[in-house]
Amino acid sequence: MKKLISIYPGTFDPVTYGHLDIIKRASDLFDKVIVTIAVNPNKKPLFSIEERIEMLINELTSIKNAEVDSFSGLLVKYAEEKKADVIVRGLRAISDFEYEFQMSLTNRKMSPAINTIFMMPSEKYSFLNSSLVRELASFNADVKDFVPENVNNKLKEKFSR
Residue 3: Cβ within 10 Å count: 10
154 is catalytic: no
Q: Which of 19, 32, 82, 134 is catalytic?
A: 19
Catalytic residue among 43, 64, 109, 161: 43
> Residue 148, Cα to own-chain centre: how many angstroms?
15
User: At what angle are helices 49-59 and 149-160 packed, to 10 degrees?
Assistant: 150
In the residue annotation, 122 being an active-site residue is answered as: no
Residue 155 near residue 130 (C-beta atoms within 8 A): no
Annotated active-site residue in 89, 130, 134, 154: 130
Annotate 136-157 with DSSP letters as a single string.
HHHTT---TTTS-HHHHHHHHH
The one catalytic residue in 92, 108, 126, 158 is 92
Task: Decide if 72 is catalytic.
Answer: no
- Has 92 been annotated as catalytic? yes
Active site (catalytic) residues: 19, 43, 92, 130
